[in-house]
């Protein structure tokens, strides 16, 4: 039985940190188990990367600053039982966590873009507005292009794909995979202008993690300038977004907004920060949504297009609408690519700012395991 030993050292407090190491595996190894030196098991999974390498990925709940840990990795003939399951259906891919709905990834051409809807928290609370996908009585019906959790932009070579005057068309799935630590899908999209011509391509990878009191969605969005130069214009209308339910908003519900920099509620709009939190109660039960910007994204930290009525968005291209100095960040020359990363966390409680800082650090600065 194959085994490996790896060591990790944390230079700052980290929570929910995903550790990974490439492995050269013989045929027949289909799964992985990971133990800490104290005997505690870590949720783990093998993944084949887009360049054909095999990685072992495992989740460490917490690493204090200065902590050094040793992990033992053991190859298995079969993967561990799946906790996150992806099932392809006619119009969407259903994602379940321990048998309960997590989300559905809509790829049908009935809508002008792919999106995830609903987002369901670990306590079963739905954290996205129903309209326009599944309208609920009495809820707001503004902005019909706000669908669940999505990616779009309001000026791509002059075309408005945010308001759906252009389209984002699903072309193919490259990966659909269930797993013991996470499920993932990777899809290829065409971004098409209002004239019907393709502007660029995008590869979108989503990873879905289910933990007892929190669910995670990791987004990696890669744009490919396949047709010519691409320019993402300076507009607030973008880029990665969630529309939360009315009952969680500041204006119509119990909600509050908090930035890593301390601004709250309406004062948070347009400010730059590494993370933003929207929190409140649904049916008297605490819930929260945290949204993390990644330090490798262009012009990090980026301004938050977070509204008291329920829009929750972030992106690297908008400046003038937020009162920031002009800076043209949106050029992508023909043949090149641009990758952006984000994390969404769905909580069944209110995380503290210190906890969010450690969670963000776990996302943004995971240490590299060393093989002795």
Residues ≥6 apart with Cβ < 8 Å to 262: none
| Mean pLDDT, the chain, integer | 96
56-to-17, 32, 49, 83, 128 alpha-carbon distances in Å: 14, 7, 11, 17, 33
pLDDT of residue 1: 60
Q: Angle at CA 301, nearest 5°, toward 190 and 327? A: 70
pLDDT of residue 314: 98
- pLDDT higher than threshold 70 for residue 372: no
- Segment 81-131, tens digit of pLDDT: 999 999 999 999 999 999 999 999 999 999 999 999 999 999 999 999 999
Give the separation between CA 166 and CA 145, rounded to whole angstroms: 12
User: Looking at residues 324-333, what average pLDDT do you find?
Assistant: 92
Report the share of the chain in percent with pLDDT over 70: 99
DSSP letters spanning 181-245: SEEEEEEEEEEE-TTS-EEEEEEEEEEEEE-SSEEEEEEEEEEE--SS-EEB-S-SSEEEEEE--
Q: For residue 205, what are its two tokens? A: 């990878």
Q: b or e along 237-265 (b: 16 or more beta carbons within 10 Å of the residue's beta carbon)?
A: bbbbbbbbbbbbbbeebebbbbbbeebee
Give the separation between CA 21 and CA 40, rounded to whole angstroms: 19
pLDDT of residue 184: 98
- pLDDT higher than threshold 70 for residue 243: yes
pLDDT band at 53 (very low <50, low <70, confident <90, very high): confident
- pLDDT higher than threshold 70 for residue 317: yes
- Segment 274-313, tens digit of pLDDT: 999 999 999 999 999 999 999 999 999 999 999 999 999 9
Residue 189: phi and psi, rounded to 5, are -120, 150
- pLDDT higher than threshold 80 for residue 154: yes
Sheet containing 304-306: give its strands across.
84-88, 92-97, 100-106, 115-116, 149-153, 238-243, 311-314, 304-306
pLDDT of residue 225: 98
User: Looking at residues 33-40, what average pLDDT do you find?
Assistant: 95
pLDDT of residue 212: 87
Residue 353: phi and psi, rounded to 5, are -55, -40
pLDDT of residue 274: 98
User: Looking at residues 326-337, what average pLDDT do you find?
Assistant: 94
- Segment 344-365, tens digit of pLDDT: 999 999 999 999 999 999 999 9
- Segment 265-276, tens digit of pLDDT: 999 999 999 999
């Amino acid at each position: 039985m194959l085994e490996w030993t790896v060591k990790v050292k944390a230079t700052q407090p980290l929570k929910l940190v995903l550790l990974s190491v490439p492995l050269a595996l013989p045929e027949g190894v289909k799964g992985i188990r990971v133990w800490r030196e104290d005997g505690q098991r870590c949720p783990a999974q093998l993944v084949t990367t887009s360049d054909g390498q095999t990685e072992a990925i495992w989740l460490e709940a917490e690493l204090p600053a200065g902590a050094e840990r040793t992990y033992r990795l053991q190859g298995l003939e079969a993967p561990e039982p799946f906790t996150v399951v992806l099932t392809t259906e006619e119009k969407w891919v259903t994602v379940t966590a321990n048998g309960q709905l997590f989300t559905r990834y809509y790829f049908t051409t009935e809508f002008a873009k792919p999106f995830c809807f609903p987002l369901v928290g670990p306590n079963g609370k739905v954290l996205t507005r129903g309209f326009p996908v599944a309208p609920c009585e009495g809820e707001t019906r503004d902005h019909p292009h706000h669908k669940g959790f999505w990616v779009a932009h309001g000026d791509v070579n002059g075309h408005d794909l945010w308001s759906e005057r252009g389209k984002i068309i699903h072309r193919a799935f490259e990966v659909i995979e269930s797993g013991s630590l996470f499920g993932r899908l990777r899809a290829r999209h065409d971004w098409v202008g209002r004239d019907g011509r393709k502007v660029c391509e995008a590869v979108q990878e989503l990873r879905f993690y289910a933990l007892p009191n929190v669910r995670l969605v990791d987004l990696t969005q890669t744009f490919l300038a396949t047709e010519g130069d691409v320019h993402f214009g300076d507009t607030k209308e973008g880029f990665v977004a969630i529309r939360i339910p009315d009952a969680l908003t500041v204006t119509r519900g119990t909600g509050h907004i908090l930035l890593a920099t301390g601004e709250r509620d309406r004062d948070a709009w347009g400010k730059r920060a590494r993370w933003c939190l929207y929190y409140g109660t649904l049916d008297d039960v605490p819930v929260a949504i945290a949204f993390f910007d990644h330090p490798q994204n262009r012009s990090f930290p980026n301004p938050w297009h977070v509204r008291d009525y329920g829009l929750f968005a972030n992106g690297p291209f908008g400046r003038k609408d937020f009162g920031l100095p002009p800076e043209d960040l949106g050029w992508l020359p023909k043949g090149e690519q641009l990758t952006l990363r984000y994390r969404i966390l769905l909580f069944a409680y209110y995380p503290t700012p210190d906890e969010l800082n450690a969670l963000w650090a776990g996302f943004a600065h995971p240490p590299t395991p060393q093989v002795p």
